[in-house]
C-alpha cells in the first residue's frame, strides 16, 4: 500500500529513498526564526513545508522528534561577513526594550502566526541563549582539535584547515580555492586568518548588551554554532533530517556541517532538505521594495499591495499548491484562485457527508488513495496530491448531482481519503473561511473610506468609523503608512 518515501537530498543533489537511522524513530531539525521582527510571508513557507513533512512522517508510522530553534542572539546584520550589529540588540535599542523583551515579543508573534497557519508545534524549541554552555563546549573541542583559533578574545573557525582534512563547500557546491581567487576581500583587514573563517565566539564591545563570560572573553556565540550544538544535543551525533530555506544553504548550513564534522569526526546529518524562496509579483520580497508583507497584514488585508484579506488556510493551501522546491510567486490573482480552490475543496468535504449510498458504484475510486500516497512519496509532491484530491471532488459533485453513484463502502473510503489527506497530512482545517474574508473585506472598505476622510481632514467621520468599529470589538491602530486592525475577544 504505502510505497517508499523519496526525498531530495541537497547534499547528493538527487532524490533518495528515506531510511531512518533507528526506525521507527526519526530526528528532524529545522532552522527557526531570528526573533527580531514580526513574522512575514518568508516565514510561512518553511513552516508549512516542514509541518507537512512532519505530519506525513507521522502518517507513515514514524515517531518523530522535531526540533526547531529560536535564534535569540548572535545573528549579525551582515551574516556572510560576520559583521554589523546583532539584529536583536539593534531592535532593542530602536524600541527601547531589553533584548529579551524583543525576543519574547516577536517569539509570541511568531507562535501566534504559526498557530493560525495550523502548523503543529515542534517537540523541542531550543533557544540559543539557553545553550551558551553547550556552544562553549563545542568551541573548546574545536580549538583542541585544531580547527579553531583565538584572536583578541574572539574565536574563529579555520576553514582552510578544515578543507584540507574534509571538504568545505559540499552542500553548496562551492570550492574554497575558487572562492579565494574570486574574493576581493583584502587580507589582514581583520583578526581572521582568512576572510572565509567565521566566528564561533565574538568578544563583545563595551556597548554590546548581550554578553556572557567565557575563557576567551566576555562575549556571545556566532550564529551558525547554535544549530550544531542544539541539533546534536537533542538528536544525537548523527540524525536523520536537517531542513530550512534555500537561503540558509550558504553560509549557515555549510558552516554547520563544518563545525559538526570537525568536532564529531564525521557528518551529523543524513538528509539535507531545503524549501525554495517566495517572490511577490515576480520580485524578491524586500523592505526596500515596499512589498514586504507581514503575515498579520496578509490575514487582515491591511497591506496596500493586497486587494483583500486572505485567511491563514488560503495562504497554507496556496503554499501547498506549489512543490516545495519550486519558487512560489505571490500575487492577488494567484491567491484569489487559491481561495476559490480551497472553497471548492471544503464544500466537497461538506457534500461528502451528505451523499446517499447506492447499490452499485459507477466510478472506480479504489486507486485514489494510492495515487495520493505516490505523490507524497515522490519528494512530497503536494500539488500532484491536491490534483488527485480534486479528481475526488469532481466525483463527489457528480454523485451529489445524481450523475454517478457510489456504494456506502466507497463513500466511507472517500471520507477516509479526504480526512487523511486534507486534514491530517496537508493540515488544512475548516475555518469560517469565506466569512472571515468577507468581514476583512468590509473592514478594509470602511478603513479605506476613513483614510480618505483623514486625507480630507474630515476628522469627525474618521473618528466615528474608528469608534464604532471599536464598540463592536474591532480595534484600529494607525500607522505611518496606513493602519492595522484586529478583532478583540
Ligand atoms: Zn540554523
pTM of the full structure: 0.88
Expressed in angstroms and rounded, the spacing between residue 223 Cα and the centre of ligand 1 is 8
Q: How far is ligand 1, taken at its centre, from the CA of residue 315, in Å?
A: 25
Altogether, the residues listed in the chain come to a count of 489
Q: What share of the chain is helix, strand, coil (3-state, %, to 5)?
A: 45, 20, 35
CA separation for the pair 293, 285 (Å, rounded): 8
Task: Work out the pLDDT band at 186, boundaries 50, 70, 90.
Answer: low
Q: How far is the CA of 233 from the centre of ligand 1 (A)?
A: 14
Label residue 169 left, alpha or beta by phi (over 0 means left) and psi (-120 to 50 means alpha): left
- 72 with 127: CB under 8 angstroms? yes
Residue/partner pairs of 472-478 with CB below 8 Å, 24 or more apart: 474/443, 476/447, 476/450
CA of 245 to the centre of ligand 1 (A): 10
- Cα of 226 to ligand 1 centre, how many Å? 7
With 0-12 / 13-18 / 19 or more C-beta atoms within 10 angstroms meaning exposed / middle / buried, residue 233 is middle
Distance between CA atoms of 446 and 465, rounded to whole angstroms? 7
Helices (H), 272-367: 295-300, 312-320, 332-352
Contact yes or no for 46/300 (Cβ under 8 A): no
Of the listed ranges 81-90, 191-200, 416-425, the one predicted with least confidence:
81-90
315-370: per-residue pLDDT in tens? 999 999 999 999 999 999 999 999 999 999 999 999 999 999 999 999 999 999 99
Give the relative orientation of helices 99-116 and 87-95 as an angle to the nearest 10 degrees. 100
Q: Ligand 1 mean position to 68 CA, how many Å?
A: 9
Cis peptide before 24 (omega within 30 of 0): yes
**Are the C-beta atoms of 76 and 85 separated by less than 8 Å?**
yes
Cα–Cα distance between 146 and 489 in angstroms, integer?
58
Q: What is the mean pLDDT of residues 222-238?
A: 97
pLDDT digits (tens, 9 = 90+) for 437-472: 778 888 888 888 998 998 899 999 999 999 988 888
Answer yes or no: is pLDDT of 1 > 50.
no
Q: Measure 126 CA to ligand 1 centroid, in angstroms.
A: 11
If you average pLDDT over every residue of the chain, what do you get?
92
Cα Rg of the chain (Å, integer): 25
Distance in Å, CA 41 to ligand 1 centroid: 19
80-83 long-range Cβ contacts below 8 angstroms, 24+ apart: 80/251, 81/195, 82/198, 82/199, 82/202, 82/222
CA of 33 to the centre of ligand 1 (A): 9
Between the CA of 66 and the centroid of ligand 1 the distance, in Å, is: 14
CB 189 within 8 A of CB 230: no
User: How many Å lie between the centroid of ligand 1 and the Cα of residue 108?
Assistant: 20
C-alpha to C-alpha distance for 302 and 396, rounded to whole angstroms = 37
Is 138 within 8 Å of 225 (Cβ atoms)? Answer: yes
Cβ atoms of 36 and 106 within 8 Å: the answer is yes
> How much distance in Å is there from the Cα of 287 to the middle of ligand 1?
23
**244 CA to middle of ligand 1, Å?**
8
Would the pLDDT of 185 be above 60?
Answer: no
What is the band of 396 on the pLDDT scale with cuts at 50, 70, 90? very high
Q: Are 43 and 68 in contact (CB under 8 A)?
A: no
Distance from Cα 203 to the centre of ligand 1, integer Å: 21
- Among residues of the chain, what percentage have pLDDT more than 70? 97
CB 39 within 8 A of CB 292: no
Residues with CB under 5 A from ligand 1 (ion): 31, 227
CA of 199 to the centre of ligand 1 (A): 15
Question: What's the gap in Å between 43 CA and the centre of ligand 1?
Answer: 14
d(CA 80, CA 407): 61
Amino acid at each position: 500500500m504505502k510505497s517508499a518515501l523519496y526525498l531530495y537530498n541537497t547534499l547528493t543533489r538527487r532524490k533518495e529513498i528515506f531510511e531512518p537511522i533507528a526506525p521507527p524513530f526519526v530526528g528532524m531539525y529545522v532552522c527557526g526564526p531570528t526573533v527580531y521582527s514580526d513574522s512575514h510571508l518568508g516565514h510561512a513557507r518553511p513552516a508549512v513545508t516542514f509541518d507537512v513533512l512532519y505530519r506525513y512522517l507521522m502518517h507513515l508510522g514514524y515517531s518523530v522528534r522535531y526540533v526547531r530553534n529560536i535564534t535569540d542572539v548572535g545573528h549579525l546584520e551582515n551574516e556572510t561577513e560576520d559583521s554589523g550589529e546583532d539584529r536583536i540588540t539593534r531592535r532593542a535599542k530602536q524600541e527601547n526594550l531589553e533584548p529579551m523583551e524583543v525576543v519574547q515579543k516577536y517569539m509570541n508573534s511568531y507562535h501566534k502566526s504559526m498557530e493560525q497557519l495550523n502548523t503543529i508545534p515542534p517537540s523541542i524549541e531550543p533557544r540559543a541563549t539557553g545553550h551558551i554552555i553547550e556552544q562553549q563546549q563545542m568551541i573548546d573541542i574545536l580549538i583542541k582539535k585544531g580547527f579553531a583559533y583565538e584572536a583578541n578574545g574572539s574565536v574563529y573557525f579555520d576553514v582552510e584547515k578544515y578543507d584540507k582534512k574534509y571538504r568545505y563547500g559540499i552542500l553548496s557546491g562551492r570550492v574554497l580555492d575558487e572562492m579565494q581567487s574570486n574574493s576581493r576581500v583584502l587580507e589582514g583587514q581583520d583578526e581572521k586568518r582568512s576572510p572565509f573563517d567565521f566566528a564561533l565566539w565574538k568578544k563583545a564591545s563595551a556597548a554590546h548588551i548581550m554578553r556572557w563570560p567565557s575563557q576567551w572573553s566576555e562575549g556571545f556565540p556566532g550564529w551558525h554554532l547554535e544549530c550544531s550544538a542544539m541539533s546534536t544535543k537533542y538528536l544525537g551525533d548523527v540524525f536523520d533530517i536537517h531542513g530550512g530555506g534555500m537561503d540558509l544553504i550558504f553560509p549557515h548550513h555549510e558552516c554547520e556541517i563544518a563545525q559538526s564534522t570537525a568536532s564529531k569526526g564525521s557528518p551529523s546529518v543524513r538528509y539535507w532538505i531545503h524549501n525554495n524562496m517566495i517572490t511577490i509579483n515576480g520580485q524578491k520580497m524586500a523592505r526596500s521594495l515596499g512589498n514586504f508583507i507581514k503575515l498579520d497584514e496578509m490575514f487582515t488585508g491591511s497591506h496596500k499591495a493586497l486587494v483583500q484579506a486572505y485567511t491563514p488556510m488560503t495562504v497554507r493551501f496556496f503554499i501547498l499548491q506549489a512543490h516545495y522546491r519550486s519558487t512560489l510567486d505571490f500575487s492577488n490573482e494567484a491567491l484569489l484562485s487559491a481561495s476559490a480552490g480551497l472553497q471548492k475543496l471544503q464544500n466537497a468535504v461538506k457534500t461528502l457527508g451528505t451523499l446517499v449510498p447506492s447499490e452499485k458504484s459507477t466510478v472506480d475510486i479504489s486507486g485514489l488513495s494510492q495515487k495520493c500516497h505516490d505523490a507524497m512519496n515522490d519528494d512530497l509532491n503536494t500539488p500532484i496530491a491536491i490534483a488527485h484530491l480534486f479528481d475526488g471532488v469532481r466525483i463527489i459533485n457528480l454523485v451529489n448531482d445524481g450523475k454517478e453513484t457510489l456504494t456506502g463502502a466507497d463513500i466511507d473510503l472517500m471520507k477516509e481519503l479526504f480526512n487523511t489527506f486534507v486534514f491530517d497530512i496537508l493540515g488544512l482545517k475548516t475555518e469560517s473561511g469565506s466569512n472571515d474574508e468577507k468581514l476583512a473585506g468590509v473592514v478594509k472598505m470602511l478603513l479605506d473610506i476613513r483614510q480618505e476622510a483623514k486625507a480630507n481632514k474630515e476628522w469627525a467621520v474618521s473618528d466615528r468609523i474608528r469608534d464604532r468599529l471599536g464598540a463592536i470589538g474591532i480595534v484600529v491602530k494607525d500607522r505611518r503608512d496606513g493602519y492595522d486592525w484586529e478583532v478583540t475577544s
